[in-house]
Amino acid sequence: MTRASRFARLGIVAVVCLACGVTAGSPSVSDGPDSPIAVEGFDSGTRVVREVAEAVTGEGRSILECYPWGSRTFLGLVSLFPSATRIRLIEWGTRRSVGHDAEDAGRLRVDALPRWCVDQYPQDDRRYDAIVVGSPNGAVAHLATLLGSPFLTTSFGLTFRRPTIAAEDHFAYIESGRAIVESILAANGDDGFELIVHYDPLHDRSLVRSVDFVRVKLRALPACYREFIDRHLAPGGRLILIDCVYAWPQYELCDRAYVQIGGLGGIPPETFLERWPLDLRLLTRRESEWGCPDGFAASVDRFAADRGIETIEIRFDRPWEYSLFAYDAYAACEGVRNRSLLIDCFNHLNPRTNVETGIPALWLPFNTEEGLALVEEALRGKSFDWIGFALLPSFAGSPDTAALEPWIDLLSHHGDIELVGIDPDRYPADPLAPFRFVDRMTELREAERLALPLRLDVDTLVDLVRNRADRQIGR
């Protein structure tokens, strides 16, 4: 996860956990009491896995899974304060509770991360017509859910505490990150992964002051994924490979470890590099959050060839293209309510609700001006009876963050709008937005449930891939 969204989510959880007397929680990947490192519950890769798992199992609390019980009451009190005070409380909580102790980085066993992923799905003898594997994003969560398929991610986000620094002090941030990745690399001899220290002083301004964000990326299909596929892919079933090639400049920190400054949004990489340069070798590589790691796709292809499994590759340049593709997938399903639309954003998504109600989704990577322009283009010439809009509350405005008013003005030209989870008087610093969002998803499932949930046939998916490829060639 990157940018202000991660800061906001982590900070809220931190404040709540401090108030409730517990440690800021994440889904555990510990392989024992002496292995304390866990995936970050609000990281994009983690969240996509959990949303798909909820759809497959029918169990889960969506984005509320990392909030301690009783936190809604406490956050209701926080929301009564002025915006500046709410943000200060989030920052205070972040400094004190978010992240693992950096000295524990060497106790991480990287193979526990993909093991956590497969453990999210039923361990019985059920078989799937398809299994989705590769780089995560919200649109991929929708695709996997439409297919009724598990999703196996390449990406795991970890956070580590350190003494507070100035947000602009990228040298201090990188040096503390260097120590963390060196500890992880030294403790894990396998070369099937890489590490990226992600520093974004514009979108994650308050977070970078007290937390280092390190993303573990799988370069090869791990053994537990291979075992899961062997056991759970039905005879004749297919692998759906998500090979997002979105690129971003990264500095080479050491062997198998890199630094990314900035990320997807309305601010170009050059702006970040000019303002926060490093005297390190600069490479253009797959982007930290959204890109599929180099070598992973080839590893999947080799495994599939050895097993005689057909692989369907979905390869786009940017996350937004997966969003448009997922919308087409909804439209291809029998029973879809094509006069309705739910626009969800980053981690404010719940594809279980979409497939159970028949309401198609259009997923936004972030709440930026770039996202506003993309939605404007996607909706051109379209109209709906109802548009649900679940915009992510960011808590810290970056230069490319779009205000709420332009969104409302744009969408009002295409249908009646319902703000899902959004309190206009408190946006974007709205601590209760996730709770309202989950409440509304539950209400929609109860009121609009289809007799049979939407399902996307794998052959129909193949046709959609072919059609979109033809469309790209002809543009």
Q: Which amino acid is located at 403 in the chain?
A: A
User: Does residue 474 register a pLDDT over 60?
Assistant: no
CB contact at 8 A, 204 and 213: yes
Residue whose pair of structure tokens reads 């230069």 in the numeric block: 399
- Residue 7: the pLDDT is 46
> How far is the CA of 440 from the CAs of 84, 245, 375, 393, 419, in angstroms?
27, 34, 22, 16, 10
Q: Which of 42-56, 213-227, 273-287, 409-423 has the lowest mean pLDDT?
A: 42-56
**Going by DSSP bridges, is the β-strand pair 193-199/211-218 parallel, antiparallel, or unpaired?**
antiparallel
Which residues, including other chains, have CB under 8 Å from residue 258's CB and lie 6 or more apart?
194, 195, 196, 197, 250, 251, 252, 283, 285, 288
CA–CA separation, 85 and 87 (whole Å): 5
Cα–Cα nearest to 218, from 226, 230, 208, 206: 226
193 has which bridge partners?
218
* Local confidence band at 67 (pLDDT 50, 70, 90 cut-offs): confident
Cα–Cα nearest to 237, from 297, 312, 302, 299: 312
User: Does residue 10 register a pLDDT over 70?
Assistant: no
Which residues, including other chains, have CB under 8 Å from residue 367's CB and lie 6 or more apart?
5, 345, 346, 391, 392, 394, 401, 402, 428
Share of the chain above pLDDT 90, in %: 74
Average pLDDT over residues 372-389: 97
Instruction: Give φ, ψ of 86 to 5 degrees.
Output: -60, -45
**Tens-digit pLDDT profile for residues 78-129:** 889 988 888 788 777 767 767 899 999 999 999 999 999 999 999 999 999 9
Q: How far apart are the first and last CA of the chain?
A: 32
Q: How many CB atoms lie within 10 A of CB 373?
A: 13
CA–CA separation, 362 and 142 (whole Å): 9
Alpha carbons within 13 A on the beta-carbon side of 120: 31
**Going by DSSP bridges, is the β-strand pair 151-153/100-101 parallel, antiparallel, or unpaired?**
unpaired
- Residue 398: the pLDDT is 83
Average pLDDT over residues 24-39: 50
| DSSP state for residue 403 in the 8-state scheme | P
CB contact at 8 A, 198 and 249: no
Q: What is the mean pLDDT of the chain?
A: 90
Average pLDDT over residues 422-448: 93
CA–CA separation, 262 and 203 (whole Å): 8
Report the alpha-carbon angle 391-392-398, nearest 5. Answer: 115
Q: 3-class SS at 342?
A: strand
- Residue 5: the pLDDT is 47
User: Does residue 367 register a pLDDT over 80?
Assistant: yes
| DSSP state for residue 25 in the 8-state scheme | P
Residue whose pair of structure tokens reads 């920190």 in the numeric block: 253
CB contact at 8 A, 247 and 287: yes
CA–CA separation, 357 and 11 (whole Å): 32
- Residue 191: the pLDDT is 83
Q: Maximum Cα–Cα distance for the chain, whole Å? A: 60
Average pLDDT over residues 365-380: 94
Report the alpha-carbon angle 397-398-404, nearest 5. Answer: 50
**Tens-digit pLDDT profile for residues 148-165:** 999 999 999 999 999 989
* Local confidence band at 34 (pLDDT 50, 70, 90 cut-offs): very low
Which pair of structure tokens corresponds to residue 449?
């449930």
Q: 3-class SS at 301?
A: helix
- Residue 2: the pLDDT is 47
**Tens-digit pLDDT profile for residues 123-142:** 999 999 999 999 999 999 99
- Residue 84: the pLDDT is 85
User: Does residue 271 register a pLDDT over 50?
Assistant: yes
Most confident of 189-198, 297-306, 425-434: 297-306
User: Does residue 17 register a pLDDT over 80?
Assistant: no
- Residue 472: the pLDDT is 65
Burial grade of 47 (CB within 10 A; 0-12, 13-18, 19 or more):
buried
Domains of the chain: 22-66+97-314 (no CATH), 334-466 (3.40.50)
Q: How many CB atoms lie within 10 A of CB 282?
A: 14
Higher pLDDT, 265 or 246: 246
Average pLDDT over residues 188-194: 91
Average pLDDT over residues 253-261: 97
Report the alpha-carbon angle 246-5-113, nearest 5. Answer: 65
**Tens-digit pLDDT profile for residues 209-222:** 889 999 999 999 99
User: Does residue 344 register a pLDDT over 90?
Assistant: yes
- Residue 4: the pLDDT is 45
Alpha carbons within 13 A on the beta-carbon side of 82: 2
Q: How many CB atoms lie within 10 A of CB 246?
A: 22
User: Does residue 418 register a pLDDT over 60?
Assistant: yes
- Residue 36: the pLDDT is 58
